[in-house]
């Protein structure tokens, strides 16, 4: 009889399916259980789903990396509403998804125009794809964007003044907002940390939110770029509303209530193809 062995050498329990759809179904149910109870132990989840504790540990690690829950010692809990995932982790999490989103959004931005780019790893993915463009004017409060484009292009780049947040290269504060408000730009590309079911766009840092609000207020067209994990995260500071967005670029079709809101307010949806090279 052939034994099924998981990555890492741990045997699967009888009846556990290895296909991706079954794994995602279980992980979705884990997230639902955590939302209902606040915190669930590894042992309780293993018993509930009839799998090994090693399988649950792997599930929790993957779900934590996607921002769908927090991994704690002994189990899983609700994602924090007051603190974002560390920037170094966000740079590598869902990198292929963010790259596809960035490529799709950059493809909708013409050469010979002006672009706002705000803070975040997904706007940075858009910036990496813009190197193929010609004659862009970039206004940003993201030092990673500014340095990367300055090294790779001859674009005109304006960096907003303000205080640098050392951990991720964000430039924030009143001076930042004052600088950004001096411009009227063709396209704004913004990232956020969460989207509520009622269409609220959410983030963690009030100063960061003020800068994003200024960017949106001074753009002729606004692109939102966010991966699917933002559908399950609930930071506490409101950036704005989904109806302020012209096009939403993501890697999966949003939940039905979000799609309905977009249709009601005429927000275009662009989903990056996972098979895109």
Q: Which domain holds residue 256?
A: 88-271
| Together in a domain, 248 and 172 | yes
Radius of gyration of the chain (CA): 20
Whether residues 65 and 190 share a domain: the answer is: no
Residues 97 and 184 in one domain: yes
Burial 165-201 (b: 16+ CB within 10 A, else e): beebbbbbbeebbebbeebebbbbbbbbbbbbeebbb
Q: What pLDDT, on the 0 to 100 scale, is given for residue 40?
A: 83
- Under 8 Å between Cβ of 33 and 71: no
Provide the CA 82 distance to its chain's centre, in angstroms.
16
Rounded Cα distance between 171 and 95, Å, is 23
**Are 164 and 262 part of one and the same domain?**
yes
Smallest CA-to-CA distance from 95 within 72, 65, 68, 70 is with: 65
Which residues of the chain, if any, have pLDDT below 70? 1-18, 38, 79-90, 92, 274-277
User: Could you give the CA distance from residue 271 to residue 253 in angstroms, rounded to a whole number?
Assistant: 7
One domain for residues 165 and 192? yes
**pLDDT tens for residues 197-218?**
999 999 999 999 999 999 999 9
The CATH number of whichever domain residue 25 belongs to comes to 1.10.10.10
**Statement to judge: residues 61 and 144 lie in one domain:** no
In a domain, 125, yes or no: yes
d(CA 160, CA 173) in angstroms, rounded, equals 10
**pTM for the model:** 0.74
Total of domains in the chain:
2
Query: 202: which residues sit within 8 A by CB, 6+ positions away?
Result: 192, 193, 194, 195, 196, 233, 234, 235, 236, 237, 238, 239
């Amino acid at each position: 009889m052939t034994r099924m062995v998981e990555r890492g050498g741990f045997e699967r329990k009888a009846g556990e399916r290895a296909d991706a759809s079954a794994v995602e179904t279980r992980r979705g149910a884990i997230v639902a259980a955590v939302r209902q109870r606040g915190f669930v132990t590894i042992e309780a989840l293993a018993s509930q789903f009839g799998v090994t504790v090693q399988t649950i540990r792997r599930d929790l690690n993957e779900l934590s990396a996607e921002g769908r829950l927090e991994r704690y010692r002994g189990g899983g809990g609700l994602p924090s509403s007051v603190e974002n995932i560390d920037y170094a982790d966000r740079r590598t999490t869902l990198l292929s998804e963010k790259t596809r989103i960035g490529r799709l959004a950059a493809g909708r931005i013409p050469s010979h125009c002006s672009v706002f780019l705000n803070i975040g790893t997904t706007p940075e993915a858009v910036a990496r794809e813009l190197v193929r463009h010609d004659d862009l004017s970039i206004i940003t409060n993201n030092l990673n964007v500014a340095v990367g484009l300055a090294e790779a292009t001859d674009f005109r780049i304006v960096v907003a003044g303000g205080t640098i947040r050392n951990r991720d290269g964000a430039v924030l504060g009143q001076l930042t907002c004052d600088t950004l408000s001096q411009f009227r730009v063709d396209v704004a590309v913004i990232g956020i940390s969460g989207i509520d079911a009622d269409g609220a766009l959410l983030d963690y840092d009030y100063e960061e939110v003020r800068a994003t609000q200024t960017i949106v207020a001074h753009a002729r067209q606004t692109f939102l770029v966010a991966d699917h994990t933002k559908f399950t995260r609930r930071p506490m500071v409101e950036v704005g509303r989904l109806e302020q967005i012209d096009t939403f670029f993501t890697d999966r079709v949003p939940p039905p209530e979000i799609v309905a809101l977009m249709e009601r307010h005429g927000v275009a949806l662009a989903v990056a193809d996972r098979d895109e090279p």
